[in-house]
């Protein structure tokens, strides 16, 4: 059985994962690094050359390849966009995303929350399809920007 750490970029998955895996005496895999090695390309290159949808396919394939192992795996937050991945990870995402949103919304700095104006993230000005909010089961006015890793609140 695998243990999965899921979170946004910079949330500490790899740091905590390595320590926890060592204490548990099991291997550690950073799924992004695994994808980079298997494809001989950086994640940035994959996104630029083939787009996010291709990366998500590679991510799902990588998850399937390590599914029957006993390892601790660090996964990016975007892995939960795919329903099959959520089932493999055995997680229920709506409450997790909403809880994170509520926690960040109430935080003093609010740096991880931005407004989505139309279909663009106000922080990085990248187009963000509003459909993602329904895909991950959050309230209709919440989305996620994969570019700047911010939770977005739709400005209606």
Alpha-carbon distance values, 108 to 55, 103, 105, 111, 134 (Å): 34, 10, 8, 9, 27
Q: Measured between alpha carbons, how far is 145 from 116 in angstroms, rounded to an integer?
A: 9
Give the chain's radius of gyration (CA, Å). Answer: 16
pLDDT of residue 41: 94
* Chain centroid to CA 133: 13
User: What does the pLDDT read at residue 69?
Assistant: 81
Give CA–CA dist 6/73, Å, rounded: 8
β-pair type (28-30, 72-76) = parallel
What are the structure tokens assigned to 1, written together? 């059985």
Per-residue pLDDT of the chain (156 residues; tens, 9 = 90+): 788 888 877 778 888 889 889 989 999 999 999 999 999 999 999 999 999 899 999 999 999 998 878 899 999 888 888 888 888 887 654 445 556 556 555 655 544 555 555 667 666 677 765 444 444 444 556 666 666 666 666 654
Structural domains in the chain, sorted by start: 3-91 (3.40.50.300), 94-154 (no CATH)
pTM for the predicted model, two decimal places: 0.59
Looking at residue 96, what is its pLDDT?
53
The single residue listed with the structure tokens 């390309």 is 41
Q: Is the dihedral of CA 68, 72, 76, 78 positive or negative?
A: positive
Distance of CA 34 to CAs 45, 65, 70, Å? 15, 10, 15
Confidence (pLDDT) at 147: 65
Which residue is it, tokens 């006015």?
Answer: 141
């Amino acid at each position: 059985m695998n243990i999965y750490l899921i979170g946004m970029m910079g949330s500490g998955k790899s740091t905590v994962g390595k320590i926890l895996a060592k204490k548990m005496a099991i291997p550690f895999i950073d799924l992004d690094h695994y994808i980079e090695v298997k494809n001989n390309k950086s994640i940035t290159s994959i996104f630029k050359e083939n787009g996010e949808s291709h990366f998500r396919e590679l991510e799902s394939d990588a998850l399937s390849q390590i599914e029957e192992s006993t390892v601790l795996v660090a996964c990016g937050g975007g892995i939960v966009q795919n329903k099959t991945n959520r089932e493999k990870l055995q997680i229920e995402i709506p409450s997790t995303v909403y809880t994170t949103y509520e926690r960040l919304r109430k935080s003093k700095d609010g740096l991880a929350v931005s407004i989505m104006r139309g279909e663009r993230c106000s922080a990085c000005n990248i187009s963000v399809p509003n459909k993602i909010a329904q895909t991950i089961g959050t309230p209709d006015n919440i989305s996620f920007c994969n570019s700047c890793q911010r939770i977005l609140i739709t400005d209606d």
